[in-house]
Amino acid sequence: MCLAGLLGLGSSSFALGAVVVFSDNFDDGDVTDWTKTTNYGGPTFVTADTTEFVLPSYSLETYLEPGPSGSDLYVRASHDFSAPVASDYSLNLWARSRDCSGCVISYDVLVDGVLLDRVNQEVDFEQRSFLLSGLAPGTHTLSLGMYTTNASSGRFYAKFDDVVISQVPLPAAAWLFISALGGLVVAKRKQLEA
């Protein structure tokens, strides 16, 4: 048996496929497990929205109404996830922001408070992928939200759907190395037992 098998890594579903550590498609209509943060003192919301989504039948919506003119405002929804081992992870999601006259509305994607991207995407949902390189094991925080400048009146939002965080699988060459190393360990053990 190779080292990968001894470690429980030999199954093709783990060895060759991505291991999902967090996912939310919001289709249960419940976003109460997401925590809201904002820098705006007026009405802000984190809701499950039914008017726009990628797959039936909800998306996550972060919004405020109305905002004072000339301010840089945000509303974010945050959720913890656990990285079981030190590794690279991928974050995949769909996102969009609202169009705005005289202001800019963007969607923000952050991990552990670090901004991965701020994008103004007004037309439709776009699919995004991010590499979380060298993520340490333990609990981390994903934050998704809207950001606006010069908002004066109206409803300012960003929406998100089909959020998935997965451990990036090792390349095939790494698995071959682990298997070969495991074979050497087993051969050496048999030699010592003989």
Q: Which of 84, 82, 77 is nearest to 33 (CA)?
A: 77
One domain, residues 42 and 123 = yes
Whether residue 153 is found in the same domain as residue 96: yes
Residues 28 and 64 occupy one common structural domain:
yes
* Extended beta strands in the chain, E state: 19-24, 35-38, 44-49, 59-64, 72-83, 87-97, 104-111, 114-119, 126-135, 138-149, 156-167
Q: Which of 188, 181, 145 is nearest to 163 (CA)?
A: 145
CA contacts within 13 A on the Cβ side of 128: 25
Distance CA 24, CA 162 (A): 6
Domain hosting residue 2, numbered range: 1-17+170-194
How many structural domains comprise the chain? 2
Q: Are residues 164 and 177 in the same domain?
A: no
Residues 43 and 126 in one domain: yes
**How far is residue 83's CA from residue 89's CA, in Å, rounded to a whole number?**
8
pTM given for the model: 0.78
* Same domain assignment for residues 162 and 79: yes
Supply the pLDDT for residue 102.
73
What local confidence, expressed as pLDDT, does residue 133 receive?
94
pLDDT score for 8: 34
Alpha helices in the chain (DSSP H): 3-6, 12-15, 172-193
Residue 131 backbone dihedrals phi, psi, to 5 degrees: -95, 120
Q: Supply the Cα-derived Rg of the chain in whole angstroms.
A: 22
Structure confidence at residue 144 (pLDDT): 98
Residues 116 and 185 in one domain: no
* Res 190: pLDDT: 60
Does one domain contain both 144 and 176?
no
Q: What is the mean pLDDT of each run of 10 residues along the chain (194 residues)?
A: 33 56 96 95 91 90 77 93 95 91 88 95 91 96 92 82 92 56 60 65
Task: Tell me: do 29 and 52 sit in the same domain.
Answer: yes
